[in-house]
Amino acid sequence: MVNPVTTPDSGPGSHSATAPRPAAEAEEIYRRWLQFLDDEFTRHHVPERRAEIVRDQLYQIYLGRPHGGKLNLTLTSVLPGNVVSLNLDPENVTLEAEHFPDIDREKFAPRKPLLWFWQMFERSPLGLNHWLGLRFRCMLGRHIFAHMGTGVRIYHGVDLTYGYNLSIGDNVVIRQRALFNDRGGITIGKGAVIGSFARIYSHAYSPENFDHVSLAATEIGEGARIASHAFVMAGQKIEPGAIVGDFPAGRW
């Protein structure tokens, strides 16, 4: 099994020997936490159990205390606190993807708690920790995506839809805030680079009837580069090594 806490060091441009690292004590704790989560999600596939794991982790991250005890439902003054507590539990959350008619609920159910964990991690102070964030996303992606290669680097704020229709090859680099709407399936070949704020789609709306959605698998070839803010539309087959979008000219 690929170690989920070391894969970001193995990709191209990782400069693992010179890259900044957390203090030794912090790194050890980070690695222990990531290994614990990887073991738990490997062991447990039942959606309800995964939701409990995520809930307990988010309580610690956002509230600084373990989950437990009963909510006080009588005082209106504590209603906002109750809302926050309940909202940390994936069982009490609805995601936009659940409203799409083409969703495979059997595949989505065990991934929903992990998608909520992905989103809430990104919105917490932990998500801004570059070293930890790269490793957290690699670890969690192994349990969400159809395929997750080695040496993948996923930066902050990447947005996912289903996850189970997303396949990522070895040494892929995905920059911050990229979006993957994988309703119809997205495959990213080895060594491809997805720029910041790029939008990758695998569904399209009919101009005559916005309620009619067609799905078409999208493929990004090995070594292809998708520029920042570029769009790849549903059904496109980007050739290996191809460049999509504009890259700023620079002096070398």
Tell me: the pLDDT tens digits for 65-102? 989 877 777 777 778 888 999 999 999 999 999 999 99
pLDDT at 182: 98
The amino acid at 81: G
pLDDT at 123: 96
- Residue 252: band (very low, low, confident or very high) from pLDDT cuts 50, 70, 90: very low
Cα(134)–Cα(242) distance, integer angstroms: 26
Q: Which residues 6+ apart lie within 8 Å of 21 measured at CB? A: 27, 131
pLDDT at 2: 46
Q: What are the structural domain ranges in the chain?
A: 23-144, 147-245
Per the structure block, which two tokens stand in for 6? 């070391």
pLDDT digits (tens, 9 = 90+) for 123-159: 999 999 999 999 999 999 999 999 999 999 999 999 9
- Residue 16: band (very low, low, confident or very high) from pLDDT cuts 50, 70, 90: low
Tell me: pLDDT of 42 over 90. Answer: yes
pLDDT at 54: 98
Cβ atoms < 10 Å from Cβ of 4: 25
pLDDT digits (tens, 9 = 90+) for 149-206: 999 999 999 999 999 999 999 999 999 999 999 999 999 999 999 999 999 999 998 7
Tell me: pLDDT of 248 over 80. Answer: no
Contact 2, 129 (CB under 8 A): no
> End-to-end CA distance of the chain, in Å?
40
Cα(61)–Cα(120) distance, integer angstroms: 9
Superfamily of domain 147-245: Hexapeptide repeat proteins (2.160.10.10)
pTM, two decimal places:
0.90
Per the structure block, which two tokens stand in for 64? 């600084």
